Amino acid sequence: MAENIAYSNLDKKLFEQLFRQYFSDLCNFARSYVNDNDTAKEITQNVFINLWQNKKGIDSSKSVKSYLFTSVRNRCLNYIRDNKKFRSNVLDVEIADYETAYESDAFSVAELETKISSALDKLPERCRQIFMLNRFEDLKYKEVAEKLGISVKTVEVQMSKALKILREELKDYIYILILFLIGS
């Protein structure tokens, strides 16, 4: 499906296709903020309703995926702000710090891939090797340990180290990463 569409030309068929393609992922994304399935579904449904009702007023130079995830995120943050008893499970941050306009969230996948690659390059070689086997080849800790002839505890320690370094290196890109990883 085209990432950039003329929203004003959005017909029922294309809308239904967008809904089927993104609804589940958007609900999961919303649930990571509000930690309530019904609220997550309601927020996601409202984003789609808003998309349909305001399709003529949306900047069509922005990707559909980015628009939808940004809209869900912003509505979740508004919900959390308005219902202070709920806290975000993604990051423990001040909500006001991330209440930004849609345009500020535009990003390049190529730029993100470069940042991730750069962050991975900063890992010590053995640590990177273990991380790549676990995360990119989907090997369990025990399988990584067997393949490399090391203990499972060593794998655990190295994975913890890798995640700590990557979190620090990519802290400014956490929301973009979430969008990227969910959309993959």
Alpha-carbon dihedral angle through residues 152, 139, 35, 112, given to the nearest 10 degrees: 110
- pLDDT tens sequence across 23-74: 999 999 999 888 888 889 999 998 888 877 776 666 556 677 888 888 899 9
Amino acid code (one letter) for 24? S
Same domain, 126 and 47: no
- pLDDT tens sequence across 122-155: 999 999 999 999 888 889 999 999 999 999 999 9
Q: Which domain holds residue 54?
A: 7-105
Same domain, 96 and 123: no
Same domain, 21 and 98: yes
Q: What is the CATH number of the domain that holds 74?
A: 1.10.1740.10
Asked if residue 64 is part of any domain, the answer here is yes
pTM of the complete model beyond 0.85: no
Asked if residue 1 is part of any domain, the answer here is no
Sort 67 into a burial class: Cβ within 10 Å, 0-12 / 13-18 / 19+: buried
